Chains A and B, each alone.
Chain A
Amino acid sequence: MTLGFYPGCSLKGSSREYAESVLTVAKAFDIELEEISDWNCCGATAAHNLNLELSLALPARILSLAEKQGLKEIVVPCAACYSRLTVTKHQLSGNPDLKNEVSEATGLDYEGSVDVLNIIQMLDKYITPNLEGRIVNPFDHKVACYYGCLLVRPHEILKFDREEDPRSMDDLMLKAGATPIDWAFKTECCGAGLSVSRTSSVGRLSGKIIGDARDRGAEAVIVACPMCHSNLDMRRDAINTFLGEKVDIPVLYVTQALGLAAGLDRKALGLHRHFVNVSV
Protein backbone atom coordinates (compact mmCIF):
# COMPACT_ATOMS: atom_id res chain seq x y z
CA MET A 1 0.00 0.00 0.00
CA THR A 2 0.99 3.64 -0.48
CA LEU A 3 0.89 6.52 1.99
CA GLY A 4 1.75 10.17 1.49
CA PHE A 5 4.98 11.33 3.10
CA TYR A 6 6.04 14.75 4.37
CA PRO A 7 9.64 14.42 5.60
CA GLY A 8 10.22 18.07 6.56
CA CYS A 9 13.58 19.82 6.58
CA SER A 10 15.24 18.15 9.57
CA LEU A 11 14.77 14.71 8.05
CA LYS A 12 16.65 15.86 4.96
CA GLY A 13 19.54 17.25 6.99
CA SER A 14 20.53 17.03 10.63
CA SER A 15 18.09 14.19 11.38
CA ARG A 16 18.42 12.19 8.19
CA GLU A 17 18.70 8.97 10.21
CA TYR A 18 15.08 9.47 11.25
CA ALA A 19 14.04 9.48 7.58
CA GLU A 20 16.29 6.50 6.88
CA SER A 21 14.73 4.49 9.69
CA VAL A 22 11.15 5.47 8.76
CA LEU A 23 11.70 4.46 5.13
CA THR A 24 13.53 1.24 6.07
CA VAL A 25 10.80 0.14 8.48
CA ALA A 26 8.01 1.08 6.05
CA LYS A 27 9.68 -0.87 3.23
CA ALA A 28 10.13 -3.94 5.45
CA PHE A 29 6.39 -3.92 6.04
CA ASP A 30 5.48 -3.33 2.36
CA ILE A 31 4.41 0.27 2.75
CA GLU A 32 5.42 2.68 0.06
CA LEU A 33 5.86 6.28 1.17
CA GLU A 34 5.12 8.77 -1.60
CA GLU A 35 6.80 12.12 -0.94
CA ILE A 36 4.72 15.26 -1.48
CA SER A 37 6.10 16.84 -4.62
CA ASP A 38 7.96 20.15 -4.23
CA TRP A 39 7.08 20.46 -0.53
CA ASN A 40 8.24 23.47 1.48
CA CYS A 41 9.26 24.01 5.10
CA CYS A 42 6.28 24.16 7.49
CA GLY A 43 7.68 27.32 9.11
CA ALA A 44 8.16 25.57 12.44
CA THR A 45 8.43 27.65 15.62
CA ALA A 46 9.89 30.67 13.86
CA ALA A 47 6.82 31.35 11.74
CA HIS A 48 4.22 31.11 14.49
CA ASN A 49 6.40 33.14 16.82
CA LEU A 50 6.64 36.00 14.37
CA ASN A 51 3.64 35.98 12.05
CA LEU A 52 0.28 34.21 12.32
CA GLU A 53 -0.73 34.33 8.63
CA LEU A 54 2.64 33.02 7.51
CA SER A 55 2.46 30.21 10.06
CA LEU A 56 -0.81 29.05 8.48
CA ALA A 57 0.02 29.68 4.83
CA LEU A 58 3.25 27.62 4.77
CA PRO A 59 1.61 24.41 6.07
CA ALA A 60 -1.47 25.11 3.93
CA ARG A 61 0.70 25.03 0.80
CA ILE A 62 1.95 21.57 1.82
CA LEU A 63 -1.58 20.28 2.44
CA SER A 64 -2.80 21.76 -0.86
CA LEU A 65 0.03 20.04 -2.75
CA ALA A 66 -0.84 16.73 -1.08
CA GLU A 67 -4.46 17.16 -2.18
CA LYS A 68 -3.36 17.97 -5.72
CA GLN A 69 -1.31 14.77 -5.72
CA GLY A 70 -4.39 12.79 -4.74
CA LEU A 71 -3.08 11.77 -1.32
CA LYS A 72 -5.65 10.94 1.34
CA GLU A 73 -3.30 10.31 4.25
CA ILE A 74 0.16 11.69 4.90
CA VAL A 75 2.74 10.53 7.43
CA VAL A 76 4.59 13.34 9.18
CA PRO A 77 7.39 11.87 11.35
CA CYS A 78 8.62 15.21 12.77
CA ALA A 79 6.50 16.15 15.78
CA ALA A 80 6.91 19.88 15.08
CA CYS A 81 5.78 19.55 11.45
CA TYR A 82 2.95 17.26 12.58
CA SER A 83 1.86 19.95 15.03
CA ARG A 84 2.00 22.77 12.47
CA LEU A 85 0.10 20.81 9.80
CA THR A 86 -2.56 19.62 12.24
CA VAL A 87 -3.01 23.02 13.88
CA THR A 88 -3.32 24.68 10.45
CA LYS A 89 -5.90 22.13 9.33
CA HIS A 90 -7.83 22.76 12.54
CA GLN A 91 -7.70 26.56 12.23
CA LEU A 92 -8.84 26.50 8.61
CA SER A 93 -11.70 24.08 9.10
CA GLY A 94 -14.91 25.92 9.82
CA ASN A 95 -13.38 29.31 9.06
CA PRO A 96 -14.08 30.00 5.36
CA ASP A 97 -12.75 33.57 5.52
CA LEU A 98 -9.40 32.45 6.87
CA LYS A 99 -9.33 29.58 4.39
CA ASN A 100 -9.85 31.98 1.49
CA GLU A 101 -7.24 34.36 2.83
CA VAL A 102 -4.70 31.55 3.11
CA SER A 103 -5.59 30.15 -0.33
CA GLU A 104 -5.07 33.61 -1.74
CA ALA A 105 -1.59 33.73 -0.16
CA THR A 106 -0.57 30.29 -1.45
CA GLY A 107 -2.30 30.62 -4.80
CA LEU A 108 -3.58 27.05 -4.36
CA ASP A 109 -6.97 25.50 -3.66
CA TYR A 110 -7.37 24.03 -0.21
CA GLU A 111 -10.07 21.52 0.69
CA GLY A 112 -8.84 20.18 4.01
CA SER A 113 -9.30 16.59 2.83
CA VAL A 114 -5.90 15.13 3.80
CA ASP A 115 -5.52 13.18 7.05
CA VAL A 116 -2.29 13.91 8.91
CA LEU A 117 -0.71 11.01 10.83
CA ASN A 118 2.16 11.29 13.27
CA ILE A 119 4.68 8.46 13.34
CA ILE A 120 3.05 6.60 16.25
CA GLN A 121 -0.35 6.76 14.55
CA MET A 122 1.17 5.43 11.33
CA LEU A 123 2.95 2.57 13.13
CA ASP A 124 -0.16 1.70 15.15
CA LYS A 125 -2.41 1.73 12.12
CA TYR A 126 -0.28 -0.03 9.53
CA ILE A 127 2.61 -1.83 11.20
CA THR A 128 1.79 -3.12 14.68
CA PRO A 129 -1.17 -5.20 13.38
CA ASN A 130 1.40 -7.10 11.28
CA LEU A 131 4.08 -7.52 13.93
CA GLU A 132 3.38 -11.16 14.67
CA GLY A 133 6.43 -13.24 13.91
CA ARG A 134 8.41 -10.13 12.92
CA ILE A 135 10.09 -9.35 16.26
CA VAL A 136 13.09 -11.58 15.64
CA ASN A 137 15.47 -9.63 17.84
CA PRO A 138 13.44 -8.27 20.80
CA PHE A 139 14.63 -4.85 21.99
CA ASP A 140 15.21 -6.27 25.44
CA HIS A 141 16.14 -3.06 27.29
CA LYS A 142 14.67 -0.72 29.85
CA VAL A 143 13.52 2.27 27.82
CA ALA A 144 12.32 5.76 28.72
CA CYS A 145 9.76 6.77 26.10
CA TYR A 146 10.07 10.52 25.63
CA TYR A 147 7.15 12.18 23.81
CA GLY A 148 8.07 15.85 24.25
CA CYS A 149 5.51 18.60 23.76
CA LEU A 150 4.23 18.84 20.24
CA LEU A 151 3.25 15.22 19.74
CA VAL A 152 0.64 15.39 22.49
CA ARG A 153 -0.26 19.06 23.07
CA PRO A 154 -2.61 20.82 22.72
CA HIS A 155 -4.96 17.87 23.10
CA GLU A 156 -7.95 20.02 22.08
CA ILE A 157 -6.55 20.11 18.56
CA LEU A 158 -4.36 17.02 18.16
CA LYS A 159 -6.72 14.62 20.00
CA PHE A 160 -3.95 12.04 20.04
CA ASP A 161 -2.68 10.74 23.39
CA ARG A 162 -2.81 11.89 27.01
CA GLU A 163 -1.12 15.25 27.49
CA GLU A 164 1.11 14.45 30.45
CA ASP A 165 1.17 10.67 30.73
CA PRO A 166 0.85 9.37 27.19
CA ARG A 167 1.01 5.59 26.64
CA SER A 168 1.09 5.00 22.88
CA MET A 169 4.87 4.83 22.47
CA ASP A 170 5.24 2.74 25.64
CA ASP A 171 2.72 0.23 24.24
CA LEU A 172 4.58 0.13 20.95
CA MET A 173 7.94 -0.48 22.64
CA LEU A 174 6.39 -3.19 24.77
CA LYS A 175 5.41 -4.96 21.54
CA ALA A 176 9.00 -4.58 20.33
CA GLY A 177 10.17 -6.52 23.39
CA ALA A 178 11.32 -3.56 25.50
CA THR A 179 10.51 -2.72 29.11
CA PRO A 180 9.18 0.86 29.21
CA ILE A 181 9.93 2.50 32.55
CA ASP A 182 7.71 4.76 34.58
CA TRP A 183 9.36 8.18 34.73
CA ALA A 184 8.58 11.83 35.28
CA PHE A 185 9.78 13.61 32.15
CA LYS A 186 7.74 11.99 29.37
CA THR A 187 6.35 15.29 28.13
CA GLU A 188 8.60 17.92 29.69
CA CYS A 189 10.06 20.28 27.09
CA CYS A 190 13.65 19.64 25.85
CA GLY A 191 14.25 23.30 25.02
CA ALA A 192 13.25 22.84 21.40
CA GLY A 193 13.93 25.89 19.24
CA LEU A 194 16.25 27.56 21.75
CA SER A 195 18.97 25.03 20.89
CA VAL A 196 21.14 27.58 19.10
CA SER A 197 20.02 30.89 20.57
CA ARG A 198 19.99 29.84 24.24
CA THR A 199 21.99 26.62 24.50
CA SER A 200 22.36 26.87 28.28
CA SER A 201 18.57 26.65 28.69
CA VAL A 202 18.60 23.52 26.56
CA GLY A 203 21.39 22.05 28.71
CA ARG A 204 19.23 22.56 31.78
CA LEU A 205 15.92 21.32 30.34
CA SER A 206 17.35 18.38 28.41
CA GLY A 207 19.69 17.69 31.33
CA LYS A 208 16.73 17.13 33.65
CA ILE A 209 15.22 14.70 31.13
CA ILE A 210 18.40 12.64 30.69
CA GLY A 211 19.06 12.87 34.45
CA ASP A 212 15.68 11.36 35.33
CA ALA A 213 16.06 8.63 32.68
CA ARG A 214 19.46 7.78 34.22
CA ASP A 215 18.14 7.81 37.81
CA ARG A 216 15.40 5.35 36.89
CA GLY A 217 17.73 2.94 35.16
CA ALA A 218 16.84 3.54 31.51
CA GLU A 219 19.22 1.96 29.01
CA ALA A 220 17.88 4.00 26.10
CA VAL A 221 15.65 7.01 25.54
CA ILE A 222 13.13 6.58 22.71
CA VAL A 223 11.91 9.64 20.81
CA ALA A 224 9.62 10.57 17.91
CA CYS A 225 10.81 14.09 17.13
CA PRO A 226 13.98 15.35 15.42
CA MET A 227 14.19 18.42 17.67
CA CYS A 228 13.98 16.27 20.80
CA HIS A 229 16.63 14.00 19.31
CA SER A 230 18.97 16.85 18.40
CA ASN A 231 18.76 18.32 21.87
CA LEU A 232 19.14 15.04 23.76
CA ASP A 233 21.84 13.64 21.46
CA MET A 234 23.80 16.45 19.78
CA ARG A 235 23.61 18.69 22.85
CA ARG A 236 24.94 15.96 25.16
CA ASP A 237 27.99 18.07 26.07
CA ALA A 238 25.73 20.83 27.44
CA ILE A 239 23.64 18.15 29.21
CA ASN A 240 26.72 16.57 30.80
CA THR A 241 27.89 19.99 31.94
CA PHE A 242 24.51 20.54 33.62
CA LEU A 243 24.54 17.08 35.21
CA GLY A 244 28.17 17.33 36.25
CA GLU A 245 28.98 13.89 34.87
CA LYS A 246 29.19 12.05 31.59
CA VAL A 247 25.99 10.19 30.83
CA ASP A 248 26.09 7.94 27.78
CA ILE A 249 22.50 6.70 27.52
CA PRO A 250 21.76 6.63 23.77
CA VAL A 251 18.71 8.29 22.21
CA LEU A 252 16.93 6.30 19.50
CA TYR A 253 14.06 7.17 17.24
CA VAL A 254 11.08 4.89 17.78
CA THR A 255 11.51 3.61 14.21
CA GLN A 256 15.16 2.72 14.90
CA ALA A 257 14.27 0.71 18.00
CA LEU A 258 11.42 -1.03 16.19
CA GLY A 259 13.68 -1.68 13.20
CA LEU A 260 16.33 -3.28 15.40
CA ALA A 261 13.66 -5.49 16.98
CA ALA A 262 12.52 -6.52 13.50
CA GLY A 263 16.10 -7.50 12.68
CA LEU A 264 16.71 -4.70 10.17
CA ASP A 265 20.20 -3.51 9.27
CA ARG A 266 21.76 -1.05 11.75
CA LYS A 267 23.28 1.08 9.03
CA ALA A 268 20.04 1.24 7.07
CA LEU A 269 18.45 2.53 10.28
CA GLY A 270 21.10 5.27 10.50
CA LEU A 271 22.40 4.32 13.95
CA HIS A 272 25.95 5.32 13.01
CA ARG A 273 24.93 8.96 12.69
CA HIS A 274 24.29 9.63 16.37
CA PHE A 275 26.61 11.68 18.59
CA VAL A 276 26.04 9.39 21.59
CA ASN A 277 27.16 5.94 20.56
CA VAL A 278 24.27 3.49 20.27
CA SER A 279 25.50 0.60 22.35
CA VAL A 280 22.16 -1.20 22.71
Chain B
Amino acid sequence: MSSDPHSPVFSVLGGEIMEHTEVKVSHCYQCGKCSAGCPLSTEMDYPPSVIMRMLQRGSPEFEEKVLRSLSIWVCLTCEMCFARCPMSIDIPKMMDFLRAKALKEKKASPKAKEIVAFHKSFLDSIRYTGRLYEIGLFADYKARTLKILDDMALAPKMMKRGKLNIIPELIKDRSGVASIFKKTIKKNNN
Protein backbone atom coordinates (compact mmCIF):
# COMPACT_ATOMS: atom_id res chain seq x y z
CA MET B 1 0.00 0.00 0.00
CA SER B 2 1.34 3.40 -0.93
CA SER B 3 1.78 6.04 1.76
CA ASP B 4 -0.68 8.25 -0.14
CA PRO B 5 -4.11 7.12 1.05
CA HIS B 6 -5.59 8.35 -2.22
CA SER B 7 -3.23 6.38 -4.40
CA PRO B 8 -5.31 4.43 -6.90
CA VAL B 9 -3.55 1.15 -6.17
CA PHE B 10 -6.42 -1.01 -7.38
CA SER B 11 -6.97 0.71 -10.69
CA VAL B 12 -4.69 -0.08 -13.60
CA LEU B 13 -6.13 2.56 -15.92
CA GLY B 14 -6.50 5.02 -13.04
CA GLY B 15 -2.79 4.55 -12.31
CA GLU B 16 -1.92 5.09 -15.94
CA ILE B 17 -4.00 8.28 -15.96
CA MET B 18 -2.18 9.54 -12.88
CA GLU B 19 1.20 8.74 -14.39
CA HIS B 20 0.50 10.61 -17.64
CA THR B 21 -1.74 13.46 -16.52
CA GLU B 22 -1.30 13.73 -12.73
CA VAL B 23 -5.09 13.39 -12.46
CA LYS B 24 -6.05 11.29 -9.42
CA VAL B 25 -9.39 9.58 -10.03
CA SER B 26 -9.43 8.49 -6.38
CA HIS B 27 -9.92 12.12 -5.33
CA CYS B 28 -13.47 12.13 -6.70
CA TYR B 29 -16.12 11.83 -3.98
CA GLN B 30 -19.07 11.60 -6.34
CA CYS B 31 -20.70 14.96 -5.68
CA GLY B 32 -21.94 14.95 -9.27
CA LYS B 33 -21.26 18.60 -10.02
CA CYS B 34 -19.37 17.65 -13.19
CA SER B 35 -22.33 15.70 -14.57
CA ALA B 36 -24.77 18.45 -13.56
CA GLY B 37 -22.73 21.15 -15.29
CA CYS B 38 -21.68 19.14 -18.35
CA PRO B 39 -23.55 20.48 -21.41
CA LEU B 40 -23.24 17.11 -23.14
CA SER B 41 -23.99 14.72 -20.27
CA THR B 42 -27.49 13.98 -21.60
CA GLU B 43 -25.94 12.72 -24.85
CA MET B 44 -23.33 10.57 -23.09
CA ASP B 45 -23.63 6.86 -22.33
CA TYR B 46 -21.98 7.54 -18.95
CA PRO B 47 -21.87 11.07 -17.49
CA PRO B 48 -18.48 12.27 -16.19
CA SER B 49 -19.08 11.36 -12.54
CA VAL B 50 -19.97 7.80 -13.56
CA ILE B 51 -16.80 7.59 -15.67
CA MET B 52 -14.89 8.64 -12.54
CA ARG B 53 -16.62 5.97 -10.46
CA MET B 54 -15.95 3.27 -13.05
CA LEU B 55 -12.26 4.21 -13.06
CA GLN B 56 -12.17 4.13 -9.25
CA ARG B 57 -13.53 0.58 -9.21
CA GLY B 58 -10.63 -0.38 -11.42
CA SER B 59 -12.03 -3.60 -12.81
CA PRO B 60 -10.95 -4.51 -16.37
CA GLU B 61 -14.60 -4.71 -17.34
CA PHE B 62 -15.31 -1.10 -16.32
CA GLU B 63 -12.07 0.17 -17.80
CA GLU B 64 -12.99 -1.38 -21.10
CA LYS B 65 -16.39 0.31 -20.97
CA VAL B 66 -14.75 3.68 -20.34
CA LEU B 67 -12.37 3.33 -23.30
CA ARG B 68 -15.19 2.16 -25.57
CA SER B 69 -17.64 4.83 -24.37
CA LEU B 70 -19.18 7.54 -26.50
CA SER B 71 -18.79 9.91 -23.54
CA ILE B 72 -15.09 10.49 -24.06
CA TRP B 73 -15.76 11.61 -27.65
CA VAL B 74 -18.77 13.87 -27.13
CA CYS B 75 -16.86 15.64 -24.34
CA LEU B 76 -16.18 19.09 -25.80
CA THR B 77 -13.41 19.99 -23.35
CA CYS B 78 -15.44 23.06 -22.39
CA GLU B 79 -13.75 22.81 -18.98
CA MET B 80 -16.96 23.39 -17.00
CA CYS B 81 -16.49 20.18 -14.97
CA PHE B 82 -12.97 21.21 -13.98
CA ALA B 83 -14.15 24.72 -13.07
CA ARG B 84 -16.83 23.32 -10.74
CA CYS B 85 -15.02 20.30 -9.26
CA PRO B 86 -14.56 20.87 -5.50
CA MET B 87 -11.49 18.60 -5.67
CA SER B 88 -10.02 20.40 -8.72
CA ILE B 89 -9.84 17.20 -10.72
CA ASP B 90 -8.78 18.03 -14.28
CA ILE B 91 -11.35 15.83 -16.01
CA PRO B 92 -10.80 17.40 -19.48
CA LYS B 93 -7.09 16.54 -19.31
CA MET B 94 -8.03 12.98 -18.39
CA MET B 95 -10.49 12.86 -21.31
CA ASP B 96 -7.70 13.86 -23.72
CA PHE B 97 -5.61 10.97 -22.42
CA LEU B 98 -8.52 8.50 -22.67
CA ARG B 99 -9.31 9.56 -26.26
CA ALA B 100 -5.70 9.12 -27.37
CA LYS B 101 -5.54 5.72 -25.66
CA ALA B 102 -8.86 4.54 -27.10
CA LEU B 103 -7.68 5.51 -30.57
CA LYS B 104 -4.30 3.85 -30.14
CA GLU B 105 -5.93 0.62 -28.96
CA LYS B 106 -8.56 0.84 -31.71
CA LYS B 107 -11.36 0.98 -29.16
CA ALA B 108 -13.00 4.25 -30.21
CA SER B 109 -16.79 3.90 -30.06
CA PRO B 110 -18.37 3.25 -33.48
CA LYS B 111 -20.98 5.84 -32.49
CA ALA B 112 -18.18 8.42 -32.45
CA LYS B 113 -17.18 7.62 -36.04
CA GLU B 114 -18.07 11.08 -37.38
CA ILE B 115 -16.38 12.90 -34.49
CA VAL B 116 -13.13 10.95 -34.91
CA ALA B 117 -13.30 11.36 -38.69
CA PHE B 118 -13.66 15.13 -38.33
CA HIS B 119 -10.62 15.37 -36.05
CA LYS B 120 -8.55 13.21 -38.41
CA SER B 121 -9.61 15.20 -41.47
CA PHE B 122 -8.75 18.40 -39.62
CA LEU B 123 -5.26 17.19 -38.75
CA ASP B 124 -4.64 15.81 -42.24
CA SER B 125 -5.44 19.21 -43.66
CA ILE B 126 -2.78 20.95 -41.59
CA ARG B 127 -0.29 18.12 -41.98
CA TYR B 128 0.01 18.85 -45.70
CA THR B 129 -0.54 22.61 -45.96
CA GLY B 130 0.43 23.88 -42.49
CA ARG B 131 -2.92 25.63 -42.11
CA LEU B 132 -6.49 24.51 -42.13
CA TYR B 133 -7.98 24.32 -45.62
CA GLU B 134 -11.71 24.33 -45.03
CA ILE B 135 -12.84 22.99 -48.42
CA GLY B 136 -10.26 20.21 -48.16
CA LEU B 137 -11.44 19.44 -44.63
CA PHE B 138 -15.06 19.11 -45.78
CA ALA B 139 -14.12 16.94 -48.74
CA ASP B 140 -11.91 14.67 -46.65
CA TYR B 141 -14.55 14.40 -43.92
CA LYS B 142 -17.23 13.50 -46.45
CA ALA B 143 -14.96 10.86 -47.97
CA ARG B 144 -14.35 9.35 -44.54
CA THR B 145 -17.98 9.36 -43.39
CA LEU B 146 -19.90 9.21 -46.69
CA LYS B 147 -22.05 12.04 -45.34
CA ILE B 148 -22.03 13.57 -48.81
CA LEU B 149 -25.20 15.64 -48.56
CA ASP B 150 -24.72 17.14 -45.09
CA ASP B 151 -24.05 20.86 -45.13
CA MET B 152 -24.19 21.08 -48.91
CA ALA B 153 -26.35 24.20 -48.57
CA LEU B 154 -23.73 25.84 -46.39
CA ALA B 155 -20.86 26.03 -48.90
CA PRO B 156 -22.52 28.35 -51.48
CA LYS B 157 -23.73 30.65 -48.70
CA MET B 158 -20.22 30.81 -47.27
CA MET B 159 -18.76 31.36 -50.73
CA LYS B 160 -21.14 34.26 -51.41
CA ARG B 161 -19.94 35.96 -48.23
CA GLY B 162 -16.28 35.41 -49.01
CA LYS B 163 -15.90 32.91 -46.20
CA LEU B 164 -14.38 30.04 -48.16
CA ASN B 165 -10.96 30.04 -49.77
CA ILE B 166 -10.85 28.10 -53.03
CA ILE B 167 -7.08 27.84 -52.90
CA PRO B 168 -5.43 26.57 -49.71
CA GLU B 169 -2.99 28.79 -47.83
CA LEU B 170 0.31 27.01 -48.09
CA ILE B 171 3.00 27.87 -45.61
CA LYS B 172 6.62 27.87 -46.80
CA ASP B 173 8.04 25.44 -44.29
CA ARG B 174 5.59 22.62 -44.96
CA SER B 175 8.29 20.03 -44.43
CA GLY B 176 8.83 21.44 -40.93
CA VAL B 177 5.16 20.91 -40.08
CA ALA B 178 5.14 17.47 -41.70
CA SER B 179 8.15 16.60 -39.59
CA ILE B 180 6.31 17.66 -36.40
CA PHE B 181 3.53 15.23 -37.32
CA LYS B 182 6.00 12.48 -38.09
CA LYS B 183 7.91 12.89 -34.84
CA THR B 184 4.88 13.20 -32.55
CA ILE B 185 2.30 10.88 -34.11
CA LYS B 186 4.64 8.04 -34.95
CA LYS B 187 5.70 7.86 -31.34
CA ASN B 188 2.12 7.34 -30.25
CA ASN B 189 1.16 5.09 -33.11
CA ASN B 190 -2.09 6.89 -33.91
A197 at the interface (CB under 8 A from B): yes
The reply to whether A13 and B165 form a contact with Cβ atoms under 8 Å apart is yes
The reply to whether B176 and A106 form a contact with Cβ atoms under 8 Å apart is yes
The residues of A that contact B187 with a CB separation of less than 8 Å are 53
The residues of B that contact A164 with a CB separation of less than 8 Å are 83
| Distance between Cα atoms of A55 and B190 in the complex (Å) | 13
Which of these, B118, B154, B164, B181, contacts A197 with CB under 8 Å?
B118
The reply to whether A49 and B77 form a contact with Cβ atoms under 8 Å apart is yes
The reply to whether B173 and A50 form a contact with Cβ atoms under 8 Å apart is no
The residues of B that contact A189 with a CB separation of less than 8 Å are 39-40, 76, 78, 80
Majority SS of interface residues in chain A?
Answer: helix
Chain A: interface residue count, which band? 35 or more
The reply to whether B163 and A41 form a contact with Cβ atoms under 8 Å apart is no
Shortest CB-to-CB span from A56 to chain B, Å, is 8
The residues of B that contact A61 with a CB separation of less than 8 Å are 176-177, 180
Which of these, B79, B114, B185, contacts A154 with CB under 8 Å?
B79
The reply to whether B185 and A51 form a contact with Cβ atoms under 8 Å apart is yes
The reply to whether A16 and B176 form a contact with Cβ atoms under 8 Å apart is no
Which of these, A44, A52, A105, contacts B180 with CB under 8 Å?
A105
Which of these, B77, B80, B163, contacts A48 with CB under 8 Å?
B77
B100 at the interface (CB under 8 A from A): yes
The reply to whether A273 and B126 form a contact with Cβ atoms under 8 Å apart is no
A58 at the interface (CB under 8 A from B): yes
The residues of B that contact A13 with a CB separation of less than 8 Å are 132, 134, 163-165
Which of these, B39, B132, B162, contacts A41 with CB under 8 Å?
B132
The residues of B that contact A222 with a CB separation of less than 8 Å are none
A130 at the interface (CB under 8 A from B): no
The residues of B that contact A15 with a CB separation of less than 8 Å are 163
The residues of A that contact B90 with a CB separation of less than 8 Å are 154
Majority SS of interface residues in chain B?
Answer: helix
Given the known inter-chain contacts A49-B119, A53-B184, A54-B184, please indicate yes or no for A43 contacting B126, CB distance below 8 A. Answer: yes
Stretch with Cβ within 8 A of B (4 or more), from A198-206, A245-253, A256-264: A198-206
| Distance between Cα atoms of A43 and B130 in the complex (Å) | 10
CB-CB contacts below 8 Å: A30-54 with B: 38-41, 43-54
The reply to whether A149 and B115 form a contact with Cβ atoms under 8 Å apart is no
Given the known inter-chain contacts A51-B188, A164-B83, please indicate yes or no for A14 contacting B134, CB distance below 8 A. Answer: yes
Q: Mask for A185-200, Cβ within 8 A of B = 1, else 0?
A: 0011101111011110
25 of the cross-chain contacts (CB-CB < 8 Å) are A9-B126, A12-B165, A13-B134, A40-B130, A41-B131, A41-B132, A43-B123, A44-B132, A45-B77, A46-B122, A49-B99, A50-B103, A52-B20, A54-B123, A55-B96, A57-B183, A58-B180, A154-B83, A155-B83, A189-B40, A192-B78, A193-B118, A194-B74, A196-B118, A196-B150
17 other contacts beyond A41-B130, A196-B118, with CB at 8 A cut-off?
A10-B132, A14-B158, A38-B171, A46-B118, A46-B119, A49-B100, A50-B103, A58-B126, A105-B184, A107-B176, A149-B80, A153-B80, A156-B88, A197-B141, A205-B39, A273-B163, A275-B161
B interface with A by C-beta (< 8 Å): 20, 39-40, 43, 74, 76-80, 82-83, 88, 90, 92, 96-97, 99-100, 103, 114-115, 117-120, 122-123, 126, 130-132, 134, 138, 141, 150-151, 154, 157-158, 161-165, 169, 171-173, 176-177, 179-181, 183-185, 187-188, 190
